Structure 1
Amino acid sequence: MATRVVRRDAQRPSRTSLSWHRQTSVPSSGKVCSFWLAGKCTRNPCRFLHSEAALTTSYAASSNHSAPKQSHYSEGRVKKTQNKMCEYWVTGNCVHAENCKYLHSWSYGDELSMLTQLSGHKKAVTGITLPTGSDKLFSGSKDGTVRVWDCHTGQCTGIFDMGSAVGCLISEGAWVFVGIENAVKAVNIQTNADLTLTAPGGQVCTMSTTNEMLLAGVHDGSILAWTNSGTNSFEATASLKGHTGLVVSLVFGAGRLYSGSMDNTIRVWDLENMQCIHTLNKHSEVVMSLVCWDQYLLSCSLDQTLKIWAATKAGDLEVVYTQDEEHGILSLRGMPDAQGKPILLCSCNDNSVRLYELPSFTERGRVFTRQEVRTIEVGPGGLFFTGDGTGRVSVWRLSGDSSVLPAKSA
């Protein structure tokens, strides 16, 4: 890994800019200015109303009590909506304060809280990992850098320029693997071994490890495999062909490798003979993420469904449950809560991550980000990490006492 160290938020819109949006003449319309509600009106005077009192008057005078399209208000008394964050609060422009019916919080759920946000990446975060036995958190981004964060202080202790956009980032033991254009960078954080594994076919978009083997999904639809020789080196062993679109998700479980692709299919691979043994076609759009949990395979897609697969007596896989969402689903991860109950983290492209208790899919909470979350990592003590499109890594806690970010246990 090249070690060129780079040294370094866009300003948030100021709420003081709202102070000059005062009416200097009587409005010619009885309607409330929708741009004023969003903190964006630049007309002075404006022919629409600018005031909370006027807002109330406008509703009272309205025959159908309908709010402007950009208003947070609904008819009558304001009621809090418990599953959506106020988009204007995020930018510092919500004028409704405690009267806003949307959440002025980054999360909801009794056991859910944000610990901190780690800022520094200039573009979307595409990978987060906690290497075994380390007190460091690694994050990779489309800005072409990998950042190293101290788990106890939250400070960035190192920045490595990868030379091209980071498509994915994982770790196995002491090895950290970074997927970039036409290559995988492999670094051993104990021995400082620094390797470059050639991966022709374009951007490496996803990786997985199993049985001393590293597998990488590439833009051209191939899956490349390397075997760890045990002497700080990896040997290319196979190239799995079959997908007709780029491979965006890989997971190993129950003795099989599962791959999801932009060709809308999931392929099941036998790694002993390196052959595809099943092709699953139940999704209608790109398969974004896969999770193996006990005897089940979980898959999600931009088709707004999450599917649970189970093996039949004949050895095939069939869908035993489909969870429909209102938005496309981007990423899945599993973790236990403090009582050991299985919790599924489900990132959707409405800039939120839902926490579902399985198998009932009861929603336990939701976290919100400025842009969509493409990567989720799970840590010890109820911790989990999200990386969003703004380049921010957020640290969350579902349960447990985690005033600092401890090292991942072996």
Structure 2
Amino acid sequence: MDLALHPRFTAQSAHANGVSALVFNAGRVYSASKDAQIKEWDADSFQLIRVFSGHSRWIRCLALGNGRLFSASWDNSVREWDLETGLCVRVFEGVHESGVNSVLVDEANIRLYSASEDRIIAVYDLNSGEVIDRWEASGGIIALHHIQLNGDLGYIAAASDNGTIGLWDASSGELVDSSPSSSNEVTSLFLTAGRLFSAGNDKLVTEWDVSSMVKGRTFRGHSAYVSCLTGTEGESEGVPGGPRLFSGGWDGSVKVWDLVTGVCIASLRVFEGRSVNSICLGDDGLLVTGGSNGDIKFWNLRFLASRLLMTMHR
């Protein structure tokens, strides 16, 4: 169902270049961009609160953990930010030889992971900041995701620019699986409802069994490169039923998938002639989308839910 809804608010030209990452925390939305800046927004008033400056190149990823914000950049570094002061309190550099595409925080096991175009996944002690391990992948790493299975530290899934998804045992540092996807480049990973989902430049979203890394269902609907994923476990975010998966693509849309049936239940037309580069979910039915034109749009999923219910009962 293609829905032409109006966002609650649009921050036009929020960034001077494309919005590459979004995260939500405690009533705040943090956005990052090719303009090398991080911006903090009030999720209720949609007003800009402050700007975090320090990176010199494209910021590819944001992650929250340990009460801090972490950013990965093509200046080959990861920065750690104090959310109270907005100041950079630590820089992880001298580890990667190419741009850093992803950063992941494992608070429970006091670890930080960074992944780069140089094919290296670096493992840090989150307290000391020291590198305690390095893993080498078969391609440049685009995205990371933590999977807690039977291992003491769980597993790290790594999406590569050669179309593979590697699964690393975080305890031993061993590569236990490397699964080819149907895409030449895997752009995003997301874990919800006990299943791993990947997206890529083949216009598809693919479901994986996390214990065996065997492919499950394929979700078709985007007409271009799928760039970002997020999801819900249930109804708390304002969409009826659940769990749900959200995918954003270069076709300018965000699609909402029912993970029980595998059906696309809604398609939001977010940008005309521009791509959706990043998405995140907040409290009380908030969906935030970032575009290649630097715009950030704030959506009300509860209104989307009411539109869906009205349509279902016609």
Same fold per TM (> 0.5)?
yes
Distance 1:293 1:272, change over 3 A: same
Q: 1:155 aligns with which of 47, 57, 60?
A: 47
Are 1:189 and 2:91 matched, yes or no? no
TM-score calculated relative to the size of structure 1: 0.65
1:201 aligned residue: 97
**Could you tell me how far apart the structure 1 residues matched to 2:79 and 2:71 are?**
5
User: Amino acid of the residue matched to residue 89 of structure 2?
Assistant: D
2:70 aligned residue: 177
Are 1:116 and 2:19 matched, yes or no? no
Distance 1:173 1:381, change over 3 A: farther
TM alignment of 1:340-379, pairs within 5 A: 340-367=241-268, 368-370=270-272, 371-379=274-282
The residue matched to 1:123 in structure 2 has which SS?
coil
The residue matched to 1:317 in structure 2 has which SS?
coil
Q: How much does 1:375 deviate? A: 1.3
Long gaps (5+) in structure 1: 1-81, 84-106, 402-410
Distance 1:340 1:284, change over 3 A: closer
Q: How much does 1:379 deviate? A: 0.8
Q: Provide Cα deviations, 1:324-360, integer angstroms capped at 9, x if missing partner.
A: 3333221111023334511111112211111111221
Contact 2:193 2:243 in 1 (8 A): no
1:39 aligned residue: none
**Could you tell me how far apart the structure 1 residues matched to 2:225 and 2:83 are?**
36
**Could you tell me how far apart the structure 2 residues matched to 1:378 and 1:329 are?**
18
Q: How much does 1:323 deviate? A: 2.1
**Could you tell me how far apart the structure 2 residues matched to 1:228 and 1:284 are?**
33
Q: How much does 1:283 deviate? A: 2.1
Contact 1:374 1:388 in 2 (8 A): yes
**Could you tell me how far apart the structure 2 residues matched to 1:159 and 1:284 are?**
36
Contact 1:125 1:387 in 2 (8 A): yes
Q: How much does 1:130 deviate? A: 2.0
**Could you tell me how far apart the structure 2 residues matched to 1:288 and 1:304 are?**
11
Deviates more, 1:204-213 or 1:121-130: 204-213
Q: How much does 1:113 deviate? A: 5.2
TM alignment of 1:108-147, pairs within 5 A: 108=4, 114-119=7-12, 120-131=14-25, 134-147=26-39
User: Amino acid of the residue matched to residue 206 of structure 1?
Assistant: S
Q: How much does 1:208 deviate? A: 1.7
User: Amino acid of the residue matched to residue 366 of structure 1?
Assistant: S
TM-score calculated relative to the size of structure 2: 0.84
Contact 2:96 2:120 in 1 (8 A): no
**Number of residue pairs matched?**
285
Distance 1:262 1:193, change over 3 A: closer
Between the two proteins, what is the percent identity of the paired residues? 21
**Could you tell me how far apart the structure 1 residues matched to 2:84 and 2:241 are?**
32
Greater RCO, 1 or 2 (C-alpha within 8 Å, sep 6+): 2
Q: How much does 1:305 deviate? A: 2.1
Deviates more, 1:211-220 or 1:265-274: 211-220
2:118 aligned residue: 220
Long gaps (5+) in structure 2: 149-153, 305-314
**Could you tell me how far apart the structure 2 residues matched to 1:282 and 1:397 are?**
33
Q: How much does 1:243 deviate? A: 2.4
Q: Provide Cα deviations, 1:66-123, integer angstroms capped at 9, x if missing partner.
A: xxxxxxxxxxxxxxxx63xxxxxxxxxxxxxxxxxxxxxxx43xxx652111232010
1:241 aligned residue: 136
1:256 aligned residue: 155
Instruction: Name the structure with the higher strand share.
Output: 2
Q: Runs ≥4 in structure 1, deviation > 6 angstroms?
A: none
Distance 1:163 1:193, change over 3 A: closer
**Could you tell me how far apart the structure 2 residues matched to 1:379 and 1:217 are?**
26
Q: Provide Cα deviations, 1:5-37, integer angstroms capped at 9, x if missing partner.
A: xxxxxxxxxxxxxxxxxxxxxxxxxxxxxxxxx
Larger Rg: 1
